[in-house]
Structure 1
Amino acid sequence: MTSRRDTLLDAGVQIIGERGLHALTHRAIDAAAGLPAGSASNLFRTRDALLDAIVERFAERERADAEEMFGSGPPRSAEELTQALVRFARHATGPGRALTLTRYAILVEAGIRPELRQKLGSTGAGVNAWFRAWLLLAGSADPDRDGPVIMNHWTGIVLHELANPAPAFDPSGQIRTLIESLVAR
């Protein structure tokens, strides 16, 4: 069962993902969550407190999505890593679209608000460690070098697809080329 707090935060994620950060208000969250007026402001007194909690919530949800998607275990080869990243890109631009757009909106906001950078840095550190371990298993000789190259390219592919959706989105060629050039040597 989802807690009242998570219901409110999930509503916030949906608002940002569908309408942008400018639409994020306590009142909008209450309405989207179907809860009485004042529910969000009782838990999150300021917009900053609300945004901090949304950062934590979208990180939790992305991790849960990834664990569900990759529940069969980490990739053990460059091809398995390619397939995992392709599945994740399709999810991020399809069923996980609002969540992904929320992450990108908050990344842009972090360019303006240093306190968000810190919050994103702490949630991102866990993801980076997890991905570094995947790269080692897949055959990377230098996961500290390969990780940022792969994830920055993947982020660009996903961002481009979100901004300019293609009817037949297929990131497999780009991702395979990148993984083969860095990992499968």
Structure 2
Amino acid sequence: MTARRARLLDAAIEVIGAGGIRALTHRAVDAAAGLPSGSASNLFRTRDTLIEGVVERFAERERANWERLAAGAQPSSARELADLLSRFAYLSTHEQRTLTLARYAILTEAAIRPPVRAQLLATGARVNAWATGWMRAAGSADPGRDAPLIMNYWTGLVLHQLAMPDPSFDPAERLRALVEAVLTAAEAS
């Protein structure tokens, strides 16, 4: 990806994260990137191609954030997995808040745009593979079942914090309880 393309897509993520999907225009992206008018439309001829680029870029940035956080981590227990997910939830709602808000706006867009949905399913497959592997490493007897349960809760927890910020947000206790309950239930069945 060229530096100019990345700059424009990062600016588009900022526009969406600050104002929602409706705020996304070529002109708004140019302004946010500090580039001359027409810069975004030269690379992304339509709004749809701009949105496709945004999905690609935010998936790349989230993957890099996750890999930095998880570098060398291999959770070998429910508690370690919950603690890692807690750190990622905190990062997603603080330092990476705008990126996360853009992700949720794009997820909503996927409900009405099949091409965006297909693109998200492709990038989401990698996330699902990580989650499943981590469930297995943490002791899940059924990681294919447990990963969606835990990650869907995580998604809702993060969304709730973004929508109604709690200054004392600390998801660790709730995530530990959930992860331990799910992994224990899998062992019992």
Please name the residue that 1:112 is paired with: 112
Structure 2 CA distance for aligned equivalents of residues 157 and 173 of structure 1? 12
* Equivalent position amino acid for 1:57 in 2: R
| Whole-angstrom distance in 2 between the partners of 1:164 and 1:130 | 28
* TM-score (normalised: structure 1): 0.97
- Cα offset for 1:172? 1.1
Deviation at 1:73, TM superposition (A): 2.2
> Where in structure 2 are the equivalents of 1:1-185 lying within 5 Å?
3-184=3-184, 185=187
Unaligned runs of 5+ in 1: none
Aligned residues of 2:131 and 2:151 also touching (Cα < 8 A): no
Aligned counterparts of 1:179 and 1:73: Cα–Cα separation in 2: 17
Q: Deviations over 1:42-76 (max 9, x none)?
A: 11000000000100100000000011111132212
Count of aligned residue pairs for this structure pair: 185
Whole-Å separation in 1 of the counterparts to 2:92 and 2:74: 19
CA distance in 2, matches of 1:31, 1:2: 19
Task: Give aligned-pair identity as a percent.
Answer: 59
Q: Distance in 1 between matches of 2:106 and 2:4?
A: 23
Deviations 1:97-137 (A, max 9, x none): 00111110011111111111101000000110111111111
Distance in 2, matches of 1:130 and 1:37, equals 40
Deviation at 1:2, TM superposition (A): 6.9
- Paired with 2:92 and 2:143, the residues of 1 have a C-alpha distance of 23
TM-score with structure 2 length normalisation? 0.95
